[in-house]
């Protein structure tokens, strides 16, 4: 039909060149590069995320693992081209950056990722993880919830009370 445009998949040589560039420039495995360049929209999303945070391997892992899972659950992987992603590439990059900086753990990042999908907003920058022995707001340390224990176990404390 003259004047109409049909969607055409990218030329295989363009895809192969992009795959080779992902391996050489970003240091990805051939397998990861194959998965990311299988669709033009996924490759574009990955490159947009890498512009915001330069950790291609971690971004690749999140895209191939968690983001692909969400696309499949929501049946978005059946579309030929995704223009509106469940989470913006910059948001994913920001979350991976927080992991790399030690602001959040990988376990907390899973929760943050799900929240980002629900709200399509960036990861909160002030999230911090609690460390064992961290001080609570009241000034007490974890484990000292019994005020009268004075660092003794319940058994030792009861023995010392009986001896009085």
- Model confidence pLDDT, tens digit, residues 69-118: 998 898 887 777 777 888 899 999 999 999 999 999 999 999 999 998 87
**CA–CA dist 85, 87 (Å, integer):** 5
**pTM strictly above 0.75:** no
pLDDT in the model for residue 145? 45
What letter would DSSP give residue 86? Answer: S
Residue 149 pLDDT more than 60? no
CA angle 40, 80, 122 (to 5 degrees): 65
The lowest-confidence range among 5-14, 29-38, 55-64 is 5-14
How high does pLDDT run on average in the chain? 77
**CA–CA dist 68, 34 (Å, integer):** 14
* Higher-scoring residue by pLDDT: 46, 134: 46
pLDDT interval class at 120 (50, 70, 90): low
The lowest-confidence range among 23-32, 56-65, 106-115, 151-160 is 151-160
């Amino acid at each position: 039909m003259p004047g109409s445009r049909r969607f055409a998949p990218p030329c295989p040589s363009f895809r192969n060149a992009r795959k080779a560039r992902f391996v050489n420039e970003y240091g990805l495995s051939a397998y990861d590069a194959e998965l990311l360049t299988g669709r033009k929209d996924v490759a574009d999303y990955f490159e947009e995320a890498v512009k915001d945070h330069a950790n291609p391997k971690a971004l690749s892992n999140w895209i191939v693992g968690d983001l692909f899972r969400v696309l499949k659950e929501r049946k978005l992987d059946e579309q030929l081209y995704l223009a509106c992603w469940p989470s913006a590439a910059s948001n994913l990059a920001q979350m991976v950056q927080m992991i790399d900086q030690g602001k959040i753990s990988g376990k907390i990042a899973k929760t943050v990722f799900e929240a980002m999908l629900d709200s399509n907003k960036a990861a909160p920058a002030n999230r911090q993880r609690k460390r064992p022995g961290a001080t609570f707001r009241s000034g007490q340390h974890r484990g000292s919830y019994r005020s009268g224990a004075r660092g003794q176990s319940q058994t030792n404390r009861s023995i010392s009370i009986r001896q009085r």
